[in-house]
Structure 1
Amino acid sequence: MTNIVELKVKPDFIKHYKNKYPLITKDAIANPGALSEEGMIVHLVDQHSRFLAKGYYGKQNKGLGWVLSFNENEKVDTVFFKNKILAAINKRQSYYHDENTNAFRIFNGEGDGIGGFTIDYFDGYYLISWYSKGIYSFKDKVIRELDELGDYKAIYEKKRFDTKGQYVDDNDFVKGEQGEFPIIIKENGMNYAVHLNDGAMVGIFLDQRDVRKAIRDKYAKGKNVLNTFSYTGAFSVAAALGDATKTTSVDLAGRSKSKTIEQFAVNGIDYEQQDIIVMDVFDYFKYAKRKELKFDLVVLDPPSFARSKKHTFSTAKDYPGLIQDTLAITEKNGIIVASTNNASFGMKKFKGFIDRGFNGMKYKILEEFSLPSDFQVNRNFNQGNYLKVVIVQKLG
């Protein structure tokens, strides 16, 4: 016990941890100077040194570390990690047995009891994302459990723990048999090309699975579709497979074109019949308005914060303006898929942004989405339920 550092929680924050709040925030700790080496086990205590919670020190953009247990006697050892990972996998058995989907999240950080890392499964390949040096110090315990589970092709990892929480470019391969990339995964019967060895992003965001299915099954048929901030064109693929008359994918990143072509190709879609445009989305809005282009379905899934040479965009400030720009090129009774992964506000506030963007114009909310069930959420940590998607129909 002598190696455990006590962190004194300020009186205003004691209730948080009594209510099982999982994040150790800098604002809550009276003596952050007591912290030294990331990965060290800490006890949160009140002003009378009474135990509140046990966690680890690991700096990331969200805080100083994560609570692991509210039981003072629970050991943070190999058995602890084994139990948490096994419990998480048991909750996801339906995904393992889904013939149409073989890519999903098997461990979602604090939602599954250990904040700071996630594990995704891509058709026999595991991908671990580490968000602090602190959690990375427990790497061997996590790998050991994946080894005990066995029956995998390889393990890859992404280190995302520099001072700004960004990706640390390093060798991504951990063990097993190195993959021939891209690997082609299935999601609700759609194909997507995935690269586990090529930078921070793999080619698809698994948290949007339900939204892609809805676009394909309910909204795309016979529609002229615009996919903004399109990344690798995953929404465009779903729309094309849902019998959209045409898709237009717009993204500023130079690589987006070749990546989008790849996603169309692995689905047998003639990419030359689709428009794939490398351009600042805000410049494209001006171009489309000038050319009097109109779309039946527009997908808006911007990053929480983006900066180009001409524009700076923040969802927390600029989403109403984004909706206004979109309405100008949306057909009467057209549909907007409004999405954000910004964790700093909830669904109610996001709907407020949408309402401000419509600015008195009539609309109807058709459907709402948050994280799919494999992205388990800790009910005491609202920020963990970050995804908000509202499918809106413009009336008139």
Structure 2
Amino acid sequence: MNKIILNKGKDKAAWQLHPWVFSGAIYKKEGKIENGDVVSVYNIDDEFIAYGVYNNTSRVAVRLLEWNPAHEINENWWRTRVQKAVKNRTHLLSSTNDSVRLIFAEADFLPGLIADKYADFISIQVHAAGVERVKSIIVDELVKLLSPKGIYERSDLKSREHEGLPDTNGLLWGETPPEFVDMIENGIHYKVNIIDGQKSGFYCDQRDNRYLTAQYVKGKRMLDCFCYSGGFTLNALREGADEVVAVDSSALAIETLKNNIIHNGLDVSKYTAVQADVNKYLRTLGEKGEKFDVIVLDPPKYAPSRSALEKASRAYKDLNRRGLMLLESGGLLATFSCSGAMDIETFKQVIAWAALDAGKEIQFIRQFAQPEDHPVRASFPEGEYLKGLLVRVL
């Protein structure tokens, strides 16, 4: 088998089951290794560490898969990993929740692979060359396990550039999803656009947080920023919010939100949908002297890497400062970051700075996290990307 030997002192993370080997850690390669090939990884003393998949285009040169030398990386290995990932999520599926993340990349020992189930359809994203090689095996196993109507690929990801892979979208098996798939989360119906929607079609990582936040909104006026298809808005209206203003820059998101509200039979007189840049809209609300009881800030990823963290922190601070200024004493801010480079303690500090600039005294009364179908592997803390805080203004 093709062999990768690591530099002295650069093998510690690999021994500790971290799944990434960076290009700078490699001492030498043996064999004719092509991108996507399975390789054996050894330390400088020729001791076996793990099997992995190689890619010289990526900064992560080897994505480690298996640390037991007796477990060969073959078709059965890939199928078994898919089986285990799906089995660990089946208890989350019910008549009130028919959608779930089936496979969460490194957390499920399948680096570079995301698979989401939306009702009877599965949407997958392939981030790595190694998974691209075995995509047909993954699809076949998902069909055997779940018998979906169709499996659609949404691999239009910036990360594929770093893997030397072109974007690819399209049907992999079965029926092409309709323009809108009707899925259920926490008993609420959503029209999900798998083909043209954001990410794989929906943000199922906020499932728990949408429900938890809604427990604070009865009889309140709420502002839902970066609302997308209306997860926080729909939960809030169901739980008795008096008024919800939902804001997003995407016309498709706003239209989908409107359809979702009608589809669930919710009171259309209690919400206002606004297509606008959120930061500019918050500024306008402040100038008008508007006030809310509850504000949700769920922005896109501001820090794609640690090198972007300082700039992202300023963006998060400014966004949250504007939000806090629209809250009076007793008001609640549910604020989130999906930037893996920002840990929860740094996020707390950013929110504290935002409160100071806004002239507000605050309390952190709840922490939010990603749900259990987005688990965090102990040896890969980078998988803990979603964090949030419920903040009370004093």
Normalised by the length of structure 2, the TM-score is: 0.90
SS of the equivalent of 2:283 reads helix
What value does the CA root-mean-square deviation take over the aligned residues? 2.5
> Does the alignment pair 1:42 with 2:48?
no
> Does the alignment pair 1:232 with 2:232?
no
Letter in 2 for 1:385: E
Contact 2:6–2:25 (Cα < 8 Å) also in 1: yes
Counterpart for residue 196 of structure 2: 198
Contact 1:248–1:274 (Cα < 8 Å) also in 2: yes
Counterpart for residue 118 of structure 2: 122
Change (3 A) 1:31 1:203: same
Letter in 2 for 1:185: M
> Does the alignment pair 1:294 with 2:291?
yes
Letter in 2 for 1:255: L
- Offset of residue 326 of structure 1: 1.1
- Offset of residue 169 of structure 1: 5.3
SS of the equivalent of 2:290 reads coil
- Offset of residue 265 of structure 1: 2.2
Change (3 A) 1:154 1:268: same
- Offset of residue 368 of structure 1: 1.2
- Offset of residue 248 of structure 1: 1.1
Counterpart for residue 80 of structure 1: 77
Counterpart for residue 141 of structure 1: 137
Change (3 A) 1:240 1:33: farther
> Does the alignment pair 1:387 with 2:386?
yes
SS of the equivalent of 1:72 reads coil
Change (3 A) 1:171 1:103: same
SS of the equivalent of 1:210 reads helix
Structure 2: distance between partners of 1:180 and 1:170:
19
Change (3 A) 1:177 1:254: closer
Q: Deviations over 1:29-80 (max 9, x none)?
A: 3448988532111222222332222100247877234210112232111111
Deviates further, 181-190 or 64-73: 64-73
- Offset of residue 227 of structure 1: 1.1
Counterpart for residue 243 of structure 1: 240
Structure 1: distance between partners of 2:296 and 2:363:
16
Counterpart for residue 310 of structure 1: none
Structure 1: distance between partners of 2:343 and 2:278:
25
Q: Deviations over 1:159-187 (max 9, x none)?
A: 13531689965442111123333111111
Contact 2:7–2:27 (Cα < 8 Å) also in 1: yes
1:90-101 matches, cutoff 5 A: 90-96=87-93, 98-101=94-97
Question: Structure 2 residue aligned with 1:131, among 127, 133, 137?
Answer: 127
Letter in 2 for 1:48: D
Question: Structure 2 residue aligned with 1:13, among 3, 10, 16?
Answer: 10
- Offset of residue 215 of structure 1: 2.2
Number of residues paired by the alignment? 384
Change (3 A) 1:338 1:30: farther
Structure 2: distance between partners of 1:348 and 1:123:
36
Counterpart for residue 363 of structure 2: 364
Counterpart for residue 182 of structure 2: 184
Q: Deviations over 1:212-259 (max 9, x none)?
A: 11122x112111111112222221111111211111122223333212
Letter in 1 for 2:193: H
Letter in 1 for 2:184: K
Deviates further, 41-50 or 74-83: 41-50
Structure 2: distance between partners of 1:67 and 1:295:
48
Contact 1:20–1:380 (Cα < 8 Å) also in 2: yes
Change (3 A) 1:314 1:244: farther
Letter in 2 for 1:387: L
Structure 2: distance between partners of 1:76 and 1:298:
48
Q: Percent identity?
A: 25
Contact 2:111–2:128 (Cα < 8 Å) also in 1: no
Structure 1: distance between partners of 2:213 and 2:164:
31
Change (3 A) 1:64 1:175: same
Task: Give structure 1 stretches of 5+ with no counterpart.
Answer: 307-312
- Offset of residue 320 of structure 1: 2.0
Change (3 A) 1:113 1:63: same
Normalised by the length of structure 1, the TM-score is: 0.89
Counterpart for residue 328 of structure 1: 325
Structure 2: distance between partners of 1:235 and 1:150:
29
1:328-347 matches, cutoff 5 A: 328-347=325-344
Q: Deviations over 1:76-129 (max 9, x none)?
A: 111111211111222123113x22101001111111111110111111212211
Change (3 A) 1:100 1:164: same
SS of the equivalent of 2:148 reads coil
Change (3 A) 1:12 1:333: farther
Contact 1:124–1:152 (Cα < 8 Å) also in 2: yes
Contact 1:293–1:329 (Cα < 8 Å) also in 2: yes
Structure 2: distance between partners of 1:51 and 1:324:
52
SS of the equivalent of 1:322 reads helix
Structure 1: distance between partners of 2:390 and 2:137:
42
SS of the equivalent of 2:147 reads coil
- Offset of residue 13 of structure 1: 2.5
Contact 1:109–1:117 (Cα < 8 Å) also in 2: yes
Q: Deviations over 1:277-298 (max 9, x none)?
A: 1222121122101110011111
Letter in 2 for 1:376: P
Contact 2:55–2:163 (Cα < 8 Å) also in 1: no
Structure 2: distance between partners of 1:166 and 1:207:
28
